[in-house]
Amino acid sequence: MQKKPSTKSKKPRKSTKRIAKKKRDNKILLYASLISIVSALLIGIGYYMGLQSSSEIAVSKATKYKVDKNSIVVRSDSAGFSGDRMIDKLQKKQQKNKIELTEKSKKSTNPKLVIIIDDISQKWQIDKIKNLPFSVTPSIFPPSNMSEHSNKLANSVEHFMVHLPMQSSSPKMNKMRGTIMLSHSKERLQKRIAEIKRLFPKAKYINNHTGSVFTSNYTHMKSLYKIMRDSGYKFIDSRTSGKTKVGKIVREYGDKYISRDIFIDNTQTRAYIIKQLKKAVSIAKKKGYAIAIGHPHNITLKTLKSIKDLLKGIDVVYIDELF
């Protein structure tokens, strides 16, 4: 008996290759989605971390930053003028705290101590001084081979002095540009002080860099002192020579003789600096005030950051808060 052909339609079978391709495409799509999600998360995290550490990301090849919880150090190019907003903001806050301390010290009857840091020519030095926990007066070099724009440092501080190079017994030291020499005429001295006035329009105080020979010469020092005095400057004698004639000259004009009491870092060790600072405190307690001079050596600035206990009962003030 012959079988009748089936009337049921057969479903077409999908090709095995097509099924495998679809599965492969689905996997690729899934992986691509996962990669996109992970990338988005990483970008988001990177952006967030970038906001938290913008001061580090903003560093250029010309500028290196080292920031920790106790100090802000900005090392810049040879001119020394760079930095970012975060550092400026922190320094402004520190400056505000110092101003508040200054207002308190004005009402205080405690002995006063002025600490001057000479030889300032770079921005990182100013930044370290700003980061000290008390008022320290920087004495800034006029422009020289060390920095052609050192005078601009005065724009970032309210309290400062001009560190004026003057003739010493060292031929090497006397080679510094703008050093005032005994051979200079009165007219040349007037030009130099006029130049200082132009470079540092806000300056009120000058002290001598080296100058043992010049300050020991009565005639030439008197001529320079009169020019500075007529230009509105107060001269602080660094006393680089025991033969200085500045005191004699100043008193002849009826002015107050202002001079260094002690150098704190002729020997660059912590022990020596501490010893000298103790002497400065002792002098301040005896006569009501003392003037100490140091230099921007790392050991000096590091030691100054850690002498809070040594200064108990002493008000550390800027030079213009004392005279």
| Residue 162 reports pLDDT greater than 60 | yes
| Residue 16 reports pLDDT greater than 70 | no
- Give 166's DSSP letter: E
Quote the pLDDT of residue 62: 38
Is pLDDT larger for residue 12 or for residue 18? 18
Of 27-31, 92-96, 222-226, the poorest mean pLDDT is in 92-96
Give exposure, 48-86, as e/b (b: 16+ Cβ within 10 Å). eeeeeeebeebeeeebebeeeeeebbbebeeebbbbbeb
**pLDDT tens for residues 210-248?**
999 999 999 999 999 999 999 999 999 999 999 999 999
Is pLDDT larger for residue 80 or for residue 297? 297
Neighbouring C-beta atoms of residue 118, cutoff 10 Å:
21
The answer to whether residues 110 and 314 touch, using CB atoms and an 8 Å cutoff, is: yes
| pLDDT range class, residue 107, cuts 50, 70, 90 | confident
Q: Please name which of 219, 199, 261, 202 lies closest in space to residue 236, comparing C-alpha atoms.
A: 261
In this structure, are strands 161-166 and 289-294 parallel, antiparallel, or unpaired? Answer: unpaired
Q: What percent of the chain has pLDDT over 70?
A: 68
| Residue 105 reports pLDDT greater than 60 | no
At a CB cut-off of 8 Å and minimum separation 6, what does 237 contact?
207, 208, 215, 244, 246, 247, 257, 258, 259, 260
**CATH of range 67-321; options 3.30.360.10, 1.10.1200.10, 3.40.50.300, 3.20.20.370:** 3.20.20.370
| Residue 187 reports pLDDT greater than 80 | yes
**pLDDT tens for residues 238-252?**
999 999 999 999 999
**Cα separation of 259 and 248, whole Å?**
12
Neighbouring C-beta atoms of residue 7, cutoff 10 Å:
5
| pLDDT range class, residue 37, cuts 50, 70, 90 | confident
Is pLDDT larger for residue 88 or for residue 26? 26
| Residue 91 reports pLDDT greater than 60 | no
Q: What is the mean pLDDT of the chain?
A: 83
The answer to whether residues 192 and 180 touch, using CB atoms and an 8 Å cutoff, is: yes
Neighbouring C-beta atoms of residue 272, cutoff 10 Å:
15
| pLDDT range class, residue 156, cuts 50, 70, 90 | very high
| pLDDT range class, residue 66, cuts 50, 70, 90 | very low
Is the pTM here over 0.85, yes or no?
A: no
The answer to whether residues 132 and 305 touch, using CB atoms and an 8 Å cutoff, is: yes
